[in-house]
């Protein structure tokens, strides 16, 4: 640790991050990444006390598991909390959130262009859920991968959707929530898949699976998946809201200049390396206490993460995706740049490092 103390600023924090990962110097360090026994996609996990709670689609319903660690969720019994009794269609990417001591599970259901967001809730994580309520998202367009979070005392809902009624590209949208079940006001686009590295796979072009987190400086990030999930080009990228920025104003968001977690070097942001053991990592979940973005890790320690991917050497397909455990930490003094847009063209702050 003498070397760490001799450094200052971002360099010391970066070194601390790496030392934490390798040597386990803090109690926040999770186990090294591993493929779990869950052959599934789209993990969503939060921690309540010492219990890890996950939610996943069962095809025509939603199930919850509870375990003492992320690595043992696969051995925990799956308890069905909701069934599609109204034949809504495909049930995708449920997301579990805790707000005011109550659990909310958001999910997309529908067929084709009919996909919309729904929510169920309960006082208990694995029983007693209400029937589904369709979220009245502004503009009522195709919507998937939605989740709610609180930032600066305001509830927000962020999701992936279409601008119109055709499947051209999936954008990220945000809207205010007056309660965990009631969107209010307009939807605002915060990201479109317009960068070359997120257009390697198209038809449609993809920004999806947004997850909110707050960095050590208190700035909001939305980490999302880019490129099609049917391809091993699937990866994670970051949106960082400038300090004091308006979450509904697209030019207050700065996008990483490449993938931060992916398996192809040519799409990675400079200074970030591709994965060693998996292909197409994406649709992640930050495993936070109570799912609260205010409990994200400080600079230095690593924190649990789960994501889906396909092991290298295995044909890449949806059927071969598994849940993986992993970890992440904050990476300081990172500049995101853009050109020919309103406002400042660069923004320097915290980014993220992801570890298999």
Q: 243-301, pLDDT tens digit by residue?
A: 999 999 999 999 999 999 999 999 999 999 999 999 999 999 999 999 999 999 899 89
- pLDDT for res 9: 42
pTM above 0.85, yes or no: yes
Q: Is the pLDDT of residue 25 over 50?
A: no
Instruction: Indicate the burial class of 227 (C-beta count within 10 angstroms; 0-12, 13-18, 19 or more).
Output: buried
- pLDDT for res 342: 72
Q: Is the pLDDT of residue 24 over 60?
A: no
Using only C-alpha atoms, the chain has a radius of gyration, in whole angstroms, of: 19
Q: pLDDT exceeding 70 applies to what percent of the chain? A: 91
- Whether residue 308 contacts residue 93, with contact meaning beta carbons closer than 8 Å, is answered with no
- pLDDT for res 340: 76
Instruction: Summarize pLDDT for 54-106 with one digit per residue, the tens.
Output: 999 998 899 999 999 999 999 999 999 999 999 999 999 999 999 999 999 99
Task: Tell me which fold the domain 30-355 belongs to.
Answer: Tachylectin-2; Chain A (2.115.10)
- pLDDT for res 30: 40
- pLDDT for res 56: 97
Q: How far is residue 91's CA from residue 132's CA, in Å, rounded to a whole number?
A: 12
Q: pLDDT exceeding 90 applies to what percent of the chain? A: 87
- pLDDT for res 346: 96
- pLDDT for res 5: 30
Please, how many CA atoms are within 13 Å of residue 222, restricted to the half-sphere of its CB?
Answer: 37
- pLDDT for res 205: 97
3-state DSSP call for residue 110?
Answer: strand
What integer best gives the mean pLDDT of the chain?
91
Any long-range contacts for 172-176 (C-beta under 8 Å, 24+ apart)? 172/207, 172/208, 172/210, 172/222, 172/224, 172/239, 173/143, 174/247, 174/248, 175/137, 175/138, 176/248
The whole-number average pLDDT for the span 156-181 is 97
Taking the alpha carbons of 163, 151, 297, 94 in that order, is the dihedral positive or negative? Answer: negative
The whole-number average pLDDT for the span 297-316 is 95
- pLDDT for res 16: 47
Instruction: Indicate the burial class of 92 (C-beta count within 10 angstroms; 0-12, 13-18, 19 or more).
Output: middle
The whole-number average pLDDT for the span 4-18 is 43
Model confidence at 18, pLDDT cuts 50, 70, 90, reads low
- pLDDT for res 249: 97
Instruction: Summarize pLDDT for 106-138 with one digit per residue, the tens.
Output: 999 999 999 999 999 999 999 999 999 999 999
Q: How far is residue 199's CA from residue 195's CA, in Å, rounded to a whole number?
A: 6
Helix (H) or strand (E) holding 13: helix 9-23
- Whether residue 310 contacts residue 321, with contact meaning beta carbons closer than 8 Å, is answered with yes
Q: Write down the domain spans for the chain.
A: 30-355
Instruction: Summarize pLDDT for 138-165 with one digit per residue, the tens.
Output: 999 999 999 999 999 999 999 999 999 9
């Amino acid at each position: 640790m003498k070397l760490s103390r001799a450094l200052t600023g971002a360099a010391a924090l970066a070194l601390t991050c790496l030392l934490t990962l390798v040597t386990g110097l803090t109690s926040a360090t999770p186990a090294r990444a591993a493929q779990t026994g869950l052959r599934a996609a789209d993990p969503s996990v939060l921690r309540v006390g010492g219990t890890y709670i996950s939610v996943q689609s069962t095809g025509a319903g939603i199930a919850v598991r509870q375990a003492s660690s992320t690595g043992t969720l696969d051995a925990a019994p799956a308890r069905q909390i909701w069934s599609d009794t109204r034949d809504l269609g495909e049930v995708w990417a449920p997301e579990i959130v805790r707000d005011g001591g109550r659990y909310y599970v958001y999910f997309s259901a529908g067929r084709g262009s009919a996909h919309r967001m729904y929510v169920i809730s309960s006082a208990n994580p694995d029983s007693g859920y209400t029937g589904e309520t369709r979220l009245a998202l502004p503009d009522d367009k195709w919507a998937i991968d939605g989740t709610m979070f609180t930032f600066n005392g305001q509830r927000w809902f962020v999701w992936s959707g279409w601008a119109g009624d055709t499947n051209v590209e999936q954008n990220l949208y945000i809207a205010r929530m007056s309660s965990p079940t009631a969107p209010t006001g307009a939807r605002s686009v915060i990201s479109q898949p317009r960068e070359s590295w997120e257009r390697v796979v198209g038809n449609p072009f993809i920004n999806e699976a947004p997850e909110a987190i707050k960095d050590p400086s208190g700035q909001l990030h939305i980490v999302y998946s880019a490129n099609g999930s049917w391809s091993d080009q699937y990866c994670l990228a970051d949106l960082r809201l400038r300090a004091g920025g308006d979450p509904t104003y697209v030019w207050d968001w700065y996008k990483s200049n490449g993938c931060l977690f992916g398996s192809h070097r040519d799409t990675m942001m400079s200074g970030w390396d591709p994965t060693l053991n998996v292909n197409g990592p994406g649709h992640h979940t930050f495993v936070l206490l109570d799912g609260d973005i205010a409990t994200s890790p400080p600079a230095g320690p690593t924190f649990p993460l789960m994501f889906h991917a396909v092991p290298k050497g295995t044909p890449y397909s949806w059927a071969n995706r598994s849940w993986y455990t992993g970890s992440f930490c904050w990476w300081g003094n990172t500049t995101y740049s853009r050109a020919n847009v309103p406002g400042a063209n660069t923004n320097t702050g915290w980014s993220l490092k992801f570890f298999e």
